[in-house]
Amino acid sequence: MGLSIRRTFAQKLTDVPVGAGLPPADEIKDELLEYVDVLLGRVDPPIDAGLMTRHEVALAYYARACELEMRIHEQERIGNIVRGSDHYRLRTGALRTFIEMSGKVVAAGSRQLTHEQLLYQMQKDAGA
């Protein structure tokens, strides 16, 4: 079994497609639910990065969720989003939960990679 080394320099940071900007709250909710379906294995991930797939996808979704939170906070700061509005309730509810969930999946992906590295090293040492 040969290892394939994938070159990752001179490429964009991620190939995982995510939304952009700050859409209406209902669209954000739908976007997050699409991401949840991928993270829970109901839908195939949008990329295949081998062992890195779970980590890469979850990390992109986590970053997007943090971006949404940041944009909502900024709109709150300038007075365009007020306490009790749809965006505010989304930020303090579903978005907060999604950030926690996707963060845990990122951590699980990282642990999976560490485990695979350990198995590879053990196989390499046994053959030496």
Q: Return the closest-CA partner of residue 55 out of 5, 12, 1, 14.
A: 14
For the chain, what are the domain ranges? 25-127
Worst-scoring range by mean pLDDT, 29-33, 65-69, 115-119?
Answer: 115-119
Q: What pLDDT score was predicted for residue 6?
A: 56
Q: What pLDDT score was predicted for residue 1?
A: 43
Q: Return the closest-CA partner of residue 90 out of 22, 39, 5.
A: 22
pLDDT greater than 90 at residue 75: yes
